[in-house]
A and B are shown apart, each in its own frame.
Chain A
Amino acid sequence: AQSVTQPDARVTVSEGASLQLRCKYSSSVTPYLFWYVQYPRQGLQLLLKYYSGDPVVQGVNGFEAEFSKSNSSFHLRKASVHWSDSAVYFCAVATNAYKVIFGKGTHLHVLP
């Protein structure tokens, strides 16, 4: 069975600071990995995804994530956050394209 853990329920950073949101997964095979963002009163939007190849994947709005098989991790990073990045970020794992397991999410608050 697969699972995903986001150990930080809330993260607060100042605008312009760098960001890392942590994600650990459990899977018997190398899974599909995703990061989604949910802005208030909106649906989830895909930031980036990983299947194989280069362990660092680039996403939208300057986000990137790094896959580590040895650490079973898929952490999300951004070099310089903006106040508009305040949202809830979900890490997700799947072993096929359709049954996606989401983490509980990390609430990001960017101080202006």
Chain B
Amino acid sequence: EAGVTQSPRYAVLQEGQAVSFWCDPISGHDTLYWYQQPRDQGPQLLVYFRDEAVIDNSQLPSDRFSAVRPKGTNSTLKIQSAKQGDTATYLCASSLSRDRDQDTQYFGPGTRLLVL
């Protein structure tokens, strides 16, 4: 079974540039999460979806960050105008809500973003 895949693996930007991150969850998983992990910190939830619907985006900086999952499968996280403070690893995870282990999230390898 293929795991969660993410691309790109690395991104380097100047402040003010835009960037998109892409996530392909485990096939059949209905719940998808995006986390931000600053250096030497734990992951912090930004947003999560059930199928194509946003369930909670309360931690997503809505003025510059957006996330979509239009068909309930792959997802894209976009930063419109990056700031140095956005430097972090962006992790995607997925889970299956109907599974007995619905709380077990499977993580991708992440995208490491550096904003200069």
- Mark A residues whose CB is within 8 Å of B: 9, 32, 34, 41-46, 49, 90, 92, 94, 97-100, 102-105
Contact = CB atoms under 8 A, between A and B. Distances in A.
B108 A43 contact: yes
A18 B48 CA distance: 38
A99 B55 CA distance: 11
B1 interface: no
Contacts of B104: 46, 49
Contact of B43 (A9, A41, A45, A102): A102
Interface residues of B, number: 26
B91 interface: yes
Contacts of A32: 103
B110 A105 contact: no
Nearest to B92: A43
B45 A100 contact: yes
Contacts of B44: 102
Contacts of A42: 109
